[in-house]
Chains A and B, each alone.
Chain A
Amino acid sequence: MDASTTIRADLLTLTSEQAMMLSPYLWVFGGTVLAMILSVTRAIQPRLPVFIVSVLTALVGMVVSLGLFAADRVMLFNNMMVGDSYANFFNVVFLASAALTMLASFEYLDQERLQYGEYYLLVLFAALGMMLMASALDLIVIFIALELMSLSVYVLVGFRRADRRSNEAAMKYFILGAAASAILLYGTALLYGATQSTNIRDIQAFVQSQSGGVSIMFTLGAWLVIVGFLFKIASVPFHMWMPDVYEGAPTPITGFMTTGLKAAAFATFVRIFISTGYGDGLPAAIQSHMHDIIVVCAVLTMVIGNAVALTQTNLKRMLAYSSIAHTGYILVGMIAGQGSEQGYAPVVLYLVAYAVMNMGAFAVLAILAARADQGLNLRDFSGLSSRQPWLAFAMSVFLLSMAGIPPTAGFAAKYLLFYSAVQAHEIGLVVISVLCSAISVYYYLRVLVHMYMHEPEEGAAPLRPVSVWAAAVVASMVVLTVQIGTLPAGMLAAAKRAVMSL
């Protein structure tokens, strides 16, 4: 019980490298706190300052992370966190998606009469949670970061307080999300019991040192942790919450969820996955065990996601199911990661490409949505090409990219992903994926058909004026989609570098 034996002087310092590596987190946190104070000051009208401070926080944080991308790996806080290229790569993705979400939301919130400072604060806190998640090496830290992210997003989903669907979505998401967090925590407890550590590197080292296989407790714990993450990425059979939540949430938040949240969940999932069951040097028994679980999930996710998306007429709902389908493709990449020469780089690249095209698509939807997020059904898109040619064009680019048609980001990412699966000798999976991908073309193209080949509906609601911010988001995403699609080498190299640092 003597306190002096527990003090470790090495934890009572912060080297300059560590301080550097922490700077994006501290910056984002400081900016959030500043925005929080601004949002409750009475001296000024908080509407614009909070928005500007929040966006600047995210953008500058992004630039700082970008600057740290090439830095060497630094362990932080007694190995509970790590600052490596992988973490910084994802920090850029999260902060970019947060910044773009806020830009796309400003006008939207004005029109929905929801212009509260808390919106931006919660987006920033969610982004901070994602950043911590992607750089955490300790299951407890991961859990806390996950909760920081999830709790913020629960509130954001229910942000349209007067809307029944929004409330319902928030409630469903909250209850199911809490259950998933509990499962994750329970798995953590079991892993701790089996390996005496919550640090995923220690867990990996422990498993590697076990010659006689692992205990049932370990397998069960790894199972539960992975189930918790399968829930967060909305893989079948844990996808039930997703369509309702995507439909009920404010449209920009849906975009944020498909990009930031999904990327964060996958980024962490990859870290955990390779150390508690699928990484190098782990016993073959666990590897094949995990392999089988993920294969089943991936196939189910692709088939069900695509099949159900075929019948949707609401665009938000359709994109939700398509998001489930894309989760399936990424899971294929996760399975292939260990056996191919690219490793997990295609997964990372796919996440980025997916984030880019979804961000753009949901920004378009946010512009087009009538009051209370009505008017996002297929027939509302009829003849959009004549009413809003540029928006229709942008939407086509995003949808073609999702369908995986060259020369878009979706094509490049999908190609590399399936190629790595072929290298890993997962031919069956690749066949199923390609077939599913072919099916998906139908429902993406259907929207294009409506936009370009149908006449506008009689009495269609007049469109909102397109805000500058949202237009900038859409335009930059179009450029990025085409850029990654035509010249994927640069992004792939960055993704590889990030994955190498794992």
Chain B
Amino acid sequence: MSYLPVLILVVIAIALGGAIQILSHVLGPKFPNPMKNSPFECGMPPLGDARHRFSVRFYLVAILFLLFDVEAVFFFPFAVTFREYLGINMFMVLEMAVFVGILLVGYFYVLRKGALEWD
């Protein structure tokens, strides 16, 4: 139930975005021109289209993000209960230290393998 306002906001955002685009489509004048239909490349005639292969680095960043973000997500439940566990014993902290150690080794490995270098 507490998500109902969120849903309303989504609906409003969609309606607003749609309405603005439709309105501007209706209100604006139309001056068709073949040059307007070509991709913008600083006034040059476009060379081919944009469906090209791009640098694999972007893919690598996405993969590394997945890895590290999943690890980062594990921190949240730990962070919330940190004080409470600290009141019992240090076991939780040790476990987390191991976890961070794994994370750091992975990070070190990735760093040394040059996966984060942009040249």
State if A and B touch, Cβ cutoff 8 Å: yes
B109 at the interface (CB under 8 A from A): yes
Q: A7-B81, A36-B109 are in contact. List 9 more A-B contacts (CB 8 A).
A: A3-B81, A7-B84, A12-B85, A12-B89, A37-B105, A37-B109, A39-B109, A40-B112, A40-B113
A216 at the interface (CB under 8 A from B): no
CB distance from A117 to the nearest CB of B (A): 10
Question: What residues on A are CB-neighbors of B102 within 8 Å?
Answer: 33
A78 at the interface (CB under 8 A from B): no
Question: What residues on A are CB-neighbors of B112 within 8 Å?
Answer: 40-42
Chain A interface, DSSP helix/strand/loop, else mixed:
helix
User: Residue of B at shortest CB range from A3?
Assistant: B81
B40 at the interface (CB under 8 A from A): no
A3, B91: Cβ atoms closer than 8 Å: no
Between A and B, 16 residue pairs with Cβ closer than 8 Å are A3-B80, A4-B84, A7-B81, A7-B84, A7-B85, A12-B85, A12-B88, A12-B89, A12-B92, A33-B102, A36-B109, A37-B108, A40-B108, A40-B109, A40-B113, A42-B112
Question: What residues on A are CB-neighbors of B84 within 8 Å?
Answer: 3-4, 7
Q: Mark A194-228, 1 if CB is under 8 A from B, else 0.
A: 00000000000000000000000000000000000
Q: What number of B residues sit within 8 Å (CB to CB) of A?
A: 14
Question: What residues on B are CB-neighbors of A39 within 8 Å?
Answer: 109
A13 at the interface (CB under 8 A from B): yes
Question: What residues on B are CB-neighbors of A3 within 8 Å?
Answer: 80-81, 84
Q: What number of A residues sit within 8 Å (CB to CB) of B?
A: 14
User: Residue of A at shortest CB range from B111?
Assistant: A40
Please measure, in the bound complex, the distance between the C-alpha atom of A7 and the C-alpha atom of B112, giving whole angstroms: 39
B105, A33: Cβ atoms closer than 8 Å: yes
Please measure, in the bound complex, the distance between the C-alpha atom of A9 and the C-alpha atom of B85, giving whole angstroms: 9
Please measure, in the bound complex, the distance between the C-alpha atom of A3 and the C-alpha atom of B83, giving whole angstroms: 11
CB contact under 8 A between A13 and B81, given known A33-B105, A37-B108: no
Please measure, in the bound complex, the distance between the C-alpha atom of A33 and the C-alpha atom of B103, giving whole angstroms: 11
Question: What residues on B are CB-neighbors of A40 within 8 Å?
Answer: 108-109, 112-113
User: Residue of A at shortest CB range from B113?
Assistant: A40
The one of B80, B88, B105, B109 that contacts A9, using a Cβ cutoff of 8 Å: B88
- Of residues 50 through 92 on chain B, the ones whose CB sits less than 8 Å from some CB of chain A are 80-81, 84-85, 88-89, 91-92
Question: What residues on A are CB-neighbors of B91 within 8 Å?
Answer: 12-14
Please measure, in the bound complex, the distance between the C-alpha atom of A41 and the C-alpha atom of B91, giving whole angstroms: 31
CB distance from B98 to the nearest CB of A (A): 9
Please measure, in the bound complex, the distance between the C-alpha atom of A38 and the C-alpha atom of B29, giving whole angstroms: 67
User: Residue of A at shortest CB range from B101?
Assistant: A33
CB distance from B62 to the nearest CB of A (A): 18
Please measure, in the bound complex, the distance between the C-alpha atom of A36 and the C-alpha atom of B113, giving whole angstroms: 11
Question: What residues on B are CB-neighbors of A33 within 8 Å?
Answer: 102, 105
Question: What residues on A are CB-neighbors of B88 within 8 Å?
Answer: 7, 9, 12
Q: Mark A1-34, 1 if CB is under 8 A from B, else 0.
A: 0011001010011100000000000000000010
User: Residue of B at shortest CB range from A6?
Assistant: B81
User: Residue of B at shortest CB range from A33?
Assistant: B105
Please measure, in the bound complex, the distance between the C-alpha atom of A36 and the C-alpha atom of B105, giving whole angstroms: 8
Q: Mark B105-119, 1 if CB is under 8 A from A, else 0.
A: 100110011000000
Question: What residues on A are CB-neighbors of B109 within 8 Å?
Answer: 36-37, 39-40
Question: What residues on A are CB-neighbors of B108 within 8 Å?
Answer: 37, 40
A-B complex: 4 closest residue pairs judged by Cβ atoms: A40-B112, A12-B91, A33-B105, A3-B81
Question: What residues on B are CB-neighbors of A14 within 8 Å?
Answer: 91
CB distance from A28 to the nearest CB of B (A): 14
User: Residue of B at shortest CB range from A42?
Assistant: B112
Please measure, in the bound complex, the distance between the C-alpha atom of A12 and the C-alpha atom of B89, giving whole angstroms: 7
